[in-house]
Amino acid sequence: MRYVTAGESHGPELTAIIEGIPAGLEISVEKINDDLKRRQQGYGRGNRMKIETDQVKILNGIRHQKSLGSPITLNVTNRDHAHWGDIMSPTAEETAANSVRQVTRPRPGHADLVGGMKYRHTDLRNVLERSSARETTMRVAVGSLCKQLLSQIGVEVLGFVKEIGGIQADSSKLSNFNGLADLKKVTDESPTRTFDEQADQQMRHLIDKTKRDGDTLGGVVEVIATGMPAGLGSYVGADTKLDAKLAASIVGINAFKGVEFGDGFKFAHHPGSEGMDEIFWDEDQGFFRKTNHLGGFEGGMTNGQPIVVKAVMKPIPTLYKPLMSVDVKTKESYKANVERSDTTAVTAAAVVAEAMVSIELAKALLDKFDTDSIDRMKEQVTTYLDEIKHY
């Protein structure tokens, strides 16, 4: 399975084409729209989210709500495009007269300067339109479809927020939840998408203050995936390890700077006796573990435990109190360009991270099992699960 997205932030539309979804998968447009809505929510986002109401159209690849096995095209309209026509699509006369306002003062931390150098763009809008995280809309749409595939074999995936601007949710409260559905209900209702009400309030206060100061915040998200069979991905090569693929796809989210599995960076402080997941066996379950320090991976393969991925997002680079920069035309020092911007987007990014994990898990599943028919894929998974249970 592979996919590609296209579209500029203020262009007319966003598109994704997915190839390799087996035939016969029932696809719910409502579920995709729910996830698109989840991505748009979150305390600290800027005014763009008040303009957009992301709704997917499926243009190709399904009939009677079921996949055909052919490429699937997803499409979302940028409602804000209506306000950007003169900047995004100026007339030939406007272009010739050089009357369209150009972006020439790159923002430190965004893709503006290096993107301009690399593609020989002098108007940095040509860079920021595509480097904008508006593109993550389509990744969430693709991820949502992948979640529908994963749910066919009982896999559930959920992303939520653990930290914003140094305020941490109390991880011990995670054990209050009876499974991911329970946790989803609470985090979907939380303005910061966290599970700790007290931390949520503190995060919101900090976001308000930071916004008043013209500054921005980053944070930490976590994604949990339950129900993945053991043995997806492989230890045989660096590029076959599924944890490595997950890490790449998480760091591929705009503004993500680090990723860890299970106990992650805490491994540096503990001896091996506290870091591994001991192996047990009984007739009912076959092999099983009582702990999950390793976040569901051994040798780059799923080990049957929940997959637990945490990742850090840097603060939003566009500041209303801008940092120093240099005009790429005049070479004079200036304050960087100020584009309309979020104060923090960690809540939205948790939904994007959930999508990226879902995409990688769906790919791994389709690397191992049948890709023509969803029913055959399910039959093969059932046979495989039975086989490994009796190993």
Ligand X SMILES: C=C(O[C@@H]1CC(C(=O)O)=C[C@@H](OP(=O)(O)O)[C@H]1O)C(=O)O
348 is a site residue for ligand FMN (CB under 6 A): yes
Which C-beta is closer to ligand X: that of 57 or that of 340? 340
Q: Fill in the amino acid letter for 14.
A: L
Q: Which is nearer to ligand FMN, 133 or 242 (CB)?
A: 133
**Over the range 48-69, which residues count as b (16 or more CB within 10 Å of their CB) and which as e?**
bbeebebebebeebbeeeebbb
Please report the DSSP string for 145-198 in residue order. HHHHHHHTTT-EEEEEEEEETTEEP-GGGGGGSSSHHHHHHHHHHSTT--S-HH
- Three-state SS for 61? coil
Reading the block at residue 57, the tokens are 């159209």
Q: Quick check: 337 binds ligand X (CB under 6 A)? A: no
Ligand-binding annotation for 289, yes or no, is: no
Segment near ligand X (CB under 6 A); pick from 66-74, 141-149, 268-276, 339-347: 339-347
- State the nearest-atom distance from the C-beta of 318 to ligand X, in Å: 6
Q: How far is CA 196 from CA 75, 87, 158, 326, 351, in A?
A: 35, 43, 16, 42, 17
Tell me which of ligand X, ligand FMN, none is bound by residue 75, counting a contact when its beta carbon lies within the kind-specific cut-off of 5 to 8 angstroms.
none
340 is in an annotated binding site: yes
Q: Binding partner of residue 134 among ligand X, ligand FMN, none, CB under 5 to 8 Å per kind?
A: ligand X
C-beta of 242 vs 313, nearer to ligand X: 313
For the segment 289-318, give every residue that binds ligand FMN (CB under 6 A): 314, 316-318
User: Minimum CB separation from ligand X for residue 29, in Å?
Assistant: 19
Phi, psi of 377 (to 5 degrees): -60, -45
- Name the residue type at position 36: L
What one-letter code names the amino acid at 356?
A: M
The footprint of ligand X on residues 33-62 (CB under 6 A) is: 46, 48
Residues 6+ apart with CB under 8 A from 65: 26, 27, 28
Region of 84-92, 269-277, 287-295, 341-349 interacting with ligand FMN (CB under 6 A): 341-349
Phi then psi dihedrals of residue 198, to 5 deg = -65, -45
Is position 254 an interface residue for ligand X (rule: CB under 6 A)?
A: yes
Question: Is the separation of the CB atoms in 59 and 144 below 8 Å?
Answer: no
For residue 253, state whether it binds ligand FMN (rule: CB under 6 A): yes
Site string for ligand X, 117-156 (x = CB under 6 A): ---------------xxx--x-------------------
Asked whether the CA dihedral 129, 133, 138, 142 is positive or negative, the reply is positive
212 annotated ligand binder: no
Annotated binding residues for FMN: 130-132, 254-255, 299, 314-318, 340
Annotated binding residues: 39, 45, 130-132, 254-255, 299, 314-318, 340
List interacting residues with ligand X (CB under 6 A): 9, 46, 48, 132-134, 137, 254, 339-342, 348
List interacting residues with ligand FMN (CB under 6 A): 46, 110-111, 131-133, 136, 253-255, 314, 316-318, 341-342, 345, 348-349, 352
